[in-house]
Chain A
Amino acid sequence: MLDLVVESDPGVPLEGVRIAVDGKRVGASSATGMLRASIASQLGSLVRIEHDCPEGYRDPVEPTTLRLHDNRSLRESTLPTMEIALRCPPSKRIAVIVVRAQNGAGLPVLLNDRIVGRTNAAGVAHVSTVTAPGSELNVRLDTSMQPLLAPRNPTRLLTVPDSHELFVIDQAFEISRRARRRRNMQRKIIKIE
């Protein structure tokens, strides 16, 4: 007996995934992501397990294979079961960016040169995007409206991993005080006679 469990991520079951063993369809996963199937084959032979991931999930690159061995349960009344995990990872991942900008209230947050948010009065902004794993995110804090802030337009380059991820960007700004330039005025000496 085989317990086939389909998950999108570890611990997240996926329902309705069609599963075939050695090219023969055995059913679809339930709400818990599980499908119990019994296979009959010769000992030592390879069994190929294939599953079709639904839209929005990535199909596996290679089918899952297992070799059958003679397993016996300690209790003769129960058949030994083996659990096989099948993965259907999402084709897109959530990337959340939390900005903590010290002295940076009211700054526009640009994600790949597009304004997606603005820091609040405390300099905090929450933005999120859904994108493919491996894609790069260019996060920039636009300081053009506040030219006294330094550094100007700080930018971070982030890479989305193959999991939902959370990025916290800590950025401290300094308010530059421009030095007063003294004019070296040449005083004209006027002789009054």
Chain B
Amino acid sequence: MSLPRTLVVDEHGEERTIVDHRFHDPRMQVEGDLVPSNIAEPDAFPRRIGFGRIQWWHVVAAFLVVVMLCVLSIVAYREHVKACGLRAAIAELTRAQSIPEAAERRSPGAPSPSAGLGPFVGSVEAPTESASPTKDRVAMERRGADLLAANDYMAALGHYRGLAAAFPGDRAFANIVIVLESKQRCLRPSPEMDGACH
């Protein structure tokens, strides 16, 4: 018994419709010894349905891959930002480690950078030795900035004298001492001064 292969031309149709028996309804009446192809070749039609499922999962998988790439890129960017901050902190740490060594090499009687610029006002706050240099410096700078923001020039002068002595390589601290001393002279003029400050 040889089965009809793929195409059978239905001669009864007036319009000469080409009929594929693989898609033919088995319930329909057929003539002769024609056997519906979906019975003879059961894999032909379901294969098409399976191919559609594979396409759907491809879309889902591609979407998941895109989402993962987005998440990974965001994480990478945030890590990059953190790395930049860490590089800056390391550079600051390196600089801070070199400066206290230079400060320790100074003789105890050596004058401070602001010596001779005016009368001594306030007290010198020396950095604690137990804390790490960087953390200590950050805290001291924060404290000094807070004192300046609060217009507490008297306390700020003593604080920045300590910073200038601890970090003589940073010219900004010595300049702050000079500025604060000039402000102290204006705020508390001596009797022989005319007090003509700007």
Task: Answer yes or no: do A and B interact.
Answer: yes
- Pairwise interchain contact A166-B198, C-beta atoms closer than 8 A: no
> Which residues 158-193 of A have a CB within 8 angstroms of B?
161-166, 168, 170
Judge if B42 is at the interface, Cβ distance under 8 Å: no
Interface residues of B, dominant DSSP: helix
Contact check, A100 vs B198: say whether CB atoms are below 8 A apart: no
Interface residues in A81-110 (C-beta closer than 8 Å to B): 85, 94, 96, 98-100, 105-106
- What is the CA–CA distance of A161 and B78 in the complex, to the nearest angstrom? 42
Please give, as numbers and ranges, the residues of chain B lying within 8 Å of A124 by CB-CB distance: 138, 141-142, 145
Known: A120-B141, A166-B179, A168-B148. A96 touches B89 (CB 8 A): no
Which one of B148, B175, B195 contacts A10 once the chains associate, using CB atoms below 8 Å? Answer: B195
Interface size counted on chain A using CB atoms at 8 A:
32
Point out the residue from B81, B145, B178 that lies within 8 Å of A145, measured CB to CB: B81
The A/B interface has a contact count, at CB < 8 Å, of 96
Residue B121, interface by CB 8 Å:
no
| Shortest Cβ distance from A108 into B: residue | B88
Q: Which of A134-160 contact B (CB under 8 A)?
A: 145-146
Q: Which residue of B lies closest to A97 (CB)?
A: B172
A11, B89: Cβ atoms closer than 8 Å: no
Contacts of A121 in B (CB 8 A): 89, 134, 138
The answer for the CA separation of A170 and B145 in the assembled complex, in Å, is 10
Residue on A nearest B88 in the bound complex, by CB? A106
Instruction: Decide: B178 and A106 in contact? CB cutoff 8 A.
Output: no
Q: Please give me the residue from chain B that is nearest to A117 by CB atom.
A: B172
Would you call B179 and A94 a contact (CB within 8 A)?
Answer: yes
Tell me if B194 and A126 are in contact (CB < 8 A).
no
Pick the contact of B142: A122, A128, A130, A168 (CB < 8 A).
A122
- Interface size class on chain B is 35 or more
**Which residues of chain B come closer than 8 Å to A127, judged between CB atoms?**
172
Across-interface contacts of A11 in B (CB, < 8 A)? 118, 185, 189-190, 193
Within 8 A of A (CB), among B167-198: 170-173, 175-176, 178-180, 182-183, 185-186, 189-190, 193-198
Residues of B within 8 A of A12 (CB): 118, 182, 185
Q: Known A9-B182, A11-B118; judge A94-B196 contact (CB<8 A).
A: no
Q: Are B148 and A166 in contact (CB under 8 A)?
A: yes
A165 to B142, alpha carbons, bound, how many Å?
19
Q: Does A118 contact B (CB under 8 A)?
A: yes
Report B-chain residues with C-beta under 8 Å of the C-beta of A96: 172, 175-176, 179
Tell me whether B84 and A128 are in contact (CB under 8 A): no
B81/A126 in contact, CB under 8 A: no
Instruction: Note all chain A residues with C-beta closer than 8 A to B144.
Output: 98, 126
CA distance A128 to B145 in the complex (A): 14
User: Which 5 A-B residue pairings sit nearest by Cβ, starting from the closest?
Assistant: A128-B175, A163-B198, A126-B172, A11-B185, A122-B142
Q: List 7 A-B contacts (CB under 8 A).
A: A96-B179, A98-B144, A121-B89, A126-B145, A126-B173, A128-B171, A161-B198
